[in-house]
A and B are shown apart, each in its own frame.
Chain A
Amino acid sequence: MLDDTLREDRVLFASHDSWRTAVEAAAAPLLEDGSITPGYLEQVLTNIAAPGGTYMDLGFGIALAHARPEAGVHATGLSLLVLPEPVALADDPAHPVSLVFVLAATDGEEHRAVMAQLARLLVNATARAELAAARTYQDVRGAIAHAA
């Protein structure tokens, strides 16, 4: 299940004024538990700021921040920051995001399983609305359960 990786300690609720601090905050749990290196986070920030980097805005205010595994991933993982007010990804007003997922991407079976579950969650319009309105971890678990 998705909540095996999107655990309580990896789901954060906080306000941020800039996309950069929001992505840093969203990545902090993966950094702390050793799933990613500081270099991976740097690469993610660089990729978002690069031309075309706003493709990581999936639509509906949801960003999937990620880079290549060789930038510094030790274990597949996923974290989430829920923002009460959106930030503009890459300072581009066309890309307001209020849900920032950070993906520690690998290329193995576990990665495939996590991505399949995340895809199922995010194409579900009800679950998207529940995530955007989530203020507690239980709310996030509820959205995951509804989309499963």
Chain B
Amino acid sequence: MKFMAMCSSGLGSSFMVHMNIDSALSSIGATGVEVDHADLGSAAPADADVFFVGKDLENSVGEFGDVVILESIIDQDELVAKVREACQRHGIPTSA
């Protein structure tokens, strides 16, 4: 299972989301999820199972399958909730 954070540069906000997904996964006790980040230009739909982007890039991710849109990329409560939902969609057990 792989989660991928994306932004235009692949180094700034996507990297920040990547790290915040890591902490969200550990806070909900989910294991076996690989997390990475990339720029929109080089990421392909086959690169991950779930893609996370900020809401302003919503229109740039049409070809990606399972996309999670984030209202704010530094709102950890929102991210934890959406990471938990993504885990549930893909049958990854979470605690608490």
Chain A's nearest CB lies how many Å from the CB of B73? 5
A57-B56, A115-B19, A119-B19 known; A105+B72 contact, CB < 8 A: no
Q: 0/1 per residue, B1-37, Cβ < 8 Å to A?
A: 0000001111111011001100100000000000000
Chain A's nearest CB lies how many Å from the CB of B54? 4
Q: Residue B71 at the A interface, CB < 8 A?
A: yes
Q: Residue A74 at the B interface, CB < 8 A?
A: no
Contacts of B11 in A (CB 8 A): 66, 68-69, 103, 105-107, 111
Q: 0/1 per residue, A92-135, Cβ < 8 Å to B?
A: 00000000000101110001100110110011000010000000
Q: Mark out the residues of chain A between 55 and 84 whose CB falls within 8 Å of any chain B CB in the assembled complex.
A: 55-60, 62, 64, 66-69
Which of A16-24, A30-38, A46-54, A136-144 lines the interface with chain B? A46-54
Q: Roughly how many angstroms separate A128 CA and B12 CA in the complex, as a whole number? A: 18
Q: Classify chain B: how many residues form its interface, as a range.
A: 20 to 34
Q: Roughly how many angstroms separate A45 CA and B74 CA in the complex, as a whole number? A: 22
Is A60 within 8 A of B72, CB to CB? yes
Q: Residue B59 at the A interface, CB < 8 A?
A: yes
Contacts of A107 in B (CB 8 A): 11
28 contacts between A and B (CB under 8 A): A52-B8, A52-B56, A53-B8, A53-B56, A54-B56, A55-B7, A55-B8, A55-B13, A55-B53, A55-B54, A55-B57, A56-B13, A58-B54, A58-B74, A60-B72, A60-B75, A62-B74, A64-B12, A66-B12, A68-B10, A103-B12, A111-B11, A115-B16, A118-B16, A119-B74, A122-B74, A123-B20, A123-B76
A: residues with CB less than 8 A from B are: 47, 51-60, 62, 64, 66-69, 103, 105-107, 111-112, 115-116, 118-119, 122-123, 128
B: residues with CB less than 8 A from A are: 7-13, 15-16, 19-20, 23, 39, 53-57, 59-60, 71-76
